[in-house]
A and B are shown apart, each in its own frame.
Chain A
Amino acid sequence: DAGVTQSPTHLIKTRGQQVTLRCSPKSGHDTVSWYQQALGQGPQFIFQYYEEEERQRGNFPDRFSGHQFPNYSSELNVNALLLGDSALYLCASTPPGGFYGYTFGSGTRLTVV
């Protein structure tokens, strides 16, 4: 049973560019959340998608946007990249009917140069 899968694993972008990261949730999970983990820090919540809508959002600017598809997979888009956006981006999914902790993917390492 595949867990949460993310692509790509690594990415290098230039300041000002746009990037799209992708996530497929664990089988049977319908809710997807995104977290940003800067080097040496704990993950920070970006937003969560449920039923193809953004249900909750953390303290991130509008440059960060997302989407959830009917098959529950999700994308994270970041526009006008800044050097400070360099981080590990983690996708996590949860099953329907209750919350007992996320299942995390291995993340996408984004480097902005």
Chain B
Amino acid sequence: AQSVTQLGSHVSVSEGALVLLRCNYSSSVPPYLFWYVQYPNQGLQLLLKYTTGATLVKGINGFEAEFKKSETSFHLTKPSAHMSDAAEYFCAVSDGNAGNMLTFGGGTRLMVKP
């Protein structure tokens, strides 16, 4: 069984500061890893994904994440927060098999202070 743990249900940063959202996963097979963002009353938008290859993945809106197998982590970072980054962020894992069910973490609400 797969699982995802997002440390910190709420993270607050100042505008212009570094954003770091933590994600640790558990998987018995090489995982596919994803970060999604959800704005209020909306669905999920894919920020970035790791399937195979380069472990540092760049996504949209200046976000990036690094897959660290030894630490079973896939933390999301952005060098400089913008007010528009305020949203709920979800880390998810899939085993890459047919069906490709996603298992999500509980989410982290990012707040950006002016």
Do the two shown chains form a genuine complex with each other? yes
A residues adjacent to B (C-beta < 8 A): 4, 33, 35, 40-45, 48, 55-56, 58, 90, 92, 94, 99-107, 109
Known: A99-B94, A101-B34, A104-B45. A94 touches B100 (CB 8 A): yes
Q: Is the CB of B43 within 8 A of A107?
A: yes
Q: In residues 49-82 of chain B, which contact A (Cβ within 8 Å)?
A: 49, 51
Contact of B44 among A58, A94, A100, A104 (CB under 8 A): A104
Interface residues of B (CB under 8 A from A): 4, 32, 34, 36, 41-46, 49, 51, 90, 92, 94, 96, 98-107
Q: Are B104 and A44 in contact (CB under 8 A)?
A: yes
CB distance from A83 to the nearest CB of B (A): 21
Q: What's the nearest-Cβ distance from chain B to residue A59, in Å?
A: 10
Q: Most A CB atoms within 10 A — which of B41, B43, B102?
A: B43
Task: Name B36's closest neighbour in chain A (CB-CB).
Answer: A104
